[in-house]
Every structure is written in C-alpha cells, then in structure tokens.
Amino acid sequence: MNIAETVRNVRSAAESLSRPLVFMEVCGTHTVSAFRTGLRSLLPDNVSLLSGPGCPVCVTPTGYLDQAIAIGRQPGTVIATFGDMLRVPGTESALEKERARGTDVRIVYSPMDALKMAQAEPDKSVVFLGVGFETTTPTIAWTIKEAAEKLSRYQIEYRILPRDGSEKWVLGKGHAEYNEAEKPVRLIGTIQDITEINLLRGILPICSFCKKIRDDKGYWDQVEVYVAKHSDVLFSHSFCPECVDKHYPEFPENWEDK
C-alpha cells in the first residue's frame, strides 16, 4: 500500500466519523517526523495532531548524561534510572555501555524503587536520575518527601532556570531530625550553588597528543581556554623543572631559588 492509497483510506474512514479526533504524539521524535513529512497537511479536517510533553530521551542534554556516567564510575554508587535512558548517548559513552563495563546501573519503574534500594543497601549511594517534565515532578517530589521520613540523610541536586535565561545548579544536602514518634520534624542541611562545579564535572574528550579539549559544540580548545570559559579560574603560566631542563639546559640547576 503506497502513501496516496493510505491517505485516501484515512480520509474515507474519517468521513464516517460523527466527531473530530485528536491524536497526541508524546515523543519529540514523533513530532519532528510529523513535521518533516508534512503529515498534518495530509490529514482530513476532522483529524488533528497535538504535540504532547515529550519524553526524557528527547530533552536530556549530553552534559547531563556525562555527569551521570562520571558519578556512576565512583565506587559504591548505584545509578537508578528509567529504561529509556540507557541508550541515550553522552559525549563518549552511554549508560548501557557503562553497565556492560561494570557500572552498577539499575532500571526502575518509579522513583520509589530507588528509595527502596537506598533503604536495602545503606552502604551504597543510590543516585536516581530525575529526568522528565512537569508530569514526573509530583512523583519525584513525593519520593523526596518519603526519603526524608525514611532515611537519615539526603542529597538533592536540581536545576533552576531564572527568567533571564541563565541556568543554575543547586545542591541541597543534610539530614532529618525526628520526634519521639519517629516522625521527621525538621530538615537540617545546606543549599549550595554548584553551577561552576557542574560545568567542569563529567567526561571531557581530550586529545592524546596536543591535549586540547573538545567542547559540546565540537570545537577544540586548549585546556586553559576551556577551563577559563567554564569557570572563574585564571591561569598564570610558568615552567616546571622538567621542561626547563629539556628546553633551557643553559639555566642553572637552582634557577627556582633565584
């Protein structure tokens, strides 16, 4: 069956309907495909497409995956995530590849599954990847509330998007205090702006020869240029003793003391 015949069949079926139909595509990939193929223009007037919220795979930036991979490589860490995140590519790897290499990556169907893991294995750091939209926010927020009631310590890393278009990463951590009925009565902890720390955390592709670093746009920068772009660090250039001996053999051995 070719496209023209398919369109005729859809139009014929739509004419027999007594009410309009609205189909929602819930994945950004579907939305792009519908746009590129001109699907909306082929549908009859009483059949329309509505773009839904999308899925985490479509909106998760590469840097987020790089951070998750870097965290997962730390000893005693468990990465808990939805299954559709396994194959989302980071800069150099993906969670599926990391799991094959030995990283403890576990699929969960709810944020509460991660909480149960943390309770069952208190000697490990269970990190849940809270990706998604406003539709997933209530379940994650409820899990945080439950964690405060059932775990002695907590750590939450989240992103804030101010109206000026900037991006801020915040780390909240601390512990809960309980009353005699073992109910949490207050949270004691700190909130820290870790935006600059996050910018320099993750997997950095670095050239084995010239030591340049590739940024997320594919450009290669010197190490000091890259770091300066992503932090407030300023560099002061000098010479290490080994390079002085190699490039300036005429210098006296005690040149650093002079």
Q: From 54, 73, 96, give the residue that closes a domain.
A: 54
189-239 pLDDT per residue, tens: 887 877 766 555 555 677 777 777 776 666 777 777 766 666 666 666 777
Q: What is the pLDDT of residue 51?
A: 75
Q: What percent of the chain has pLDDT over 90?
A: 12
**Residues 6 or more apart from 112 whose CB is under 8 A from it?**
139, 142, 143, 146
> Could you tell me if 171 and 219 lie in one domain?
no
Question: Are residues 62 and 48 both part of a single domain?
Answer: no
Structure tokens at 202: 């993750």
Do 41 and 114 fall within a single domain? no
CA angle 240, 220, 85 (to 5 degrees): 115
SS3 of residue 126 by DSSP: strand
* Residue 185 pLDDT class (50, 70, 90 cuts): confident
pLDDT at 55: 67
pLDDT at 162: 78
Tell me the pLDDT band of 99, cut-offs 50, 70 and 90.
Answer: very high
- 74 and 171 share one domain: yes
pTM over 0.85: no
Indicate whether 70 and 165 sit together in one domain: yes
Domain end residue (candidates: 54, 70, 95): 54
Range of the domain at 229: 205-258
Listed residues 199, 227, 249: the one ending a domain: 199
Q: In what order do the strands lie in the sheet with 105-107?
A: 105-107, 77-81, 125-128
pLDDT of residue 78: 95
As for how many domains the chain has, the answer is 3
> 97 and 135 in one domain?
yes
Q: Among residues of the chain, what percentage have pLDDT more than 70?
A: 81
**60-78 tens-digit pLDDT:** 777 788 888 988 998 999 9
On whether both 80 and 183 belong to a single domain, the answer is yes
Question: What's the CA gap between 168 and 46, in Å, rounded?
Answer: 44
How far from each other are the two terminal CA atoms of the chain, in whole angstroms? Answer: 86
Asked whether residue 186 falls in the same domain as residue 233, the answer is: no
76, 132: one domain:
yes
